[in-house]
Amino acid sequence: MRRLLLDALVLFGFVAAGCTTTSSNTGSASGPGEAVVQRVVDGDTIVVSIAGRDERVRLIGVDTPESVDPRSPVQCYGKEASAFTTQLLPPGTVVRLERDVEARDRFDRLLAYVYRVSDGLFVNFELARAGYAQVLTIPPNVAYAEEFRVAAAGARQAGSGLWRACPDA
């Protein structure tokens, strides 16, 4: 029941954000599903503010090398992937979050496809296309699985990013 209530509050935050009268590409969310980046945790996890509430968001469909897991060493290209995500989404960036079938993962992170509002950049896709992430398809969240597969294959073929730097990737 608590999880259902929390998800309803997050959804309310998406809707409430769309009812505000201010509009900006940095600093304040103004449309449905919009949030403001607070910080990047690692290459595939960010913290955003939705209607004044901080939420950890796991980017659906991609998996960057680990860089902050205290139980394991930093993986090859992990720091670079985190830095790239930070470059794409510095604090204050307004993003649009798009959900798929499942709302949260087992770590209670919100699952989302993330778009930068200022220019529409599809962040999940860009991580795969530029060689900073491998594809991670976990059904039922598969809306863009084929697009991610094609993007990552192109990066691998071109020897971009982790595909060049990490022989075991």
85 domain residue, yes or no: yes
Q: CB 68: neighbour CB atoms within 10 A?
A: 14
Sign of CA dihedral 103, 12, 48, 89: positive
Output the pLDDT for position 5.
39
| DSSP-H helix ranges across the chain | 2-17, 78-88, 123-129, 145-158, 162-165
- Give Cα separations from 39 to 8, 54, 148, 152 (angstroms): 24, 10, 24, 25
Work out the mean pLDDT of the chain and round it to a whole number. Answer: 86
By annotation, the residues acting in catalysis are 58, 66, 109
Domain region containing 115: 2-122
> Does position 24 have pLDDT exceeding 80, yes or no?
no
Domain total of the chain = 1
In this prediction, residues 84-89 reach a mean pLDDT of 98
55 domain residue, yes or no: yes
66 domain residue, yes or no: yes
135 domain residue, yes or no: no
Name the least confident of 19-28, 32-41, 58-67, 129-138. Answer: 19-28
In this prediction, residues 11-37 reach a mean pLDDT of 57
Rounded distance, CA 27 to CA 93, Å? 6
CA 152 to chain centroid: 16
Output the pLDDT for position 22.
31
Q: What is the CATH number of the domain that holds 73?
A: 2.40.50.90
Output the pLDDT for position 61.
98
Output the pLDDT for position 27.
72
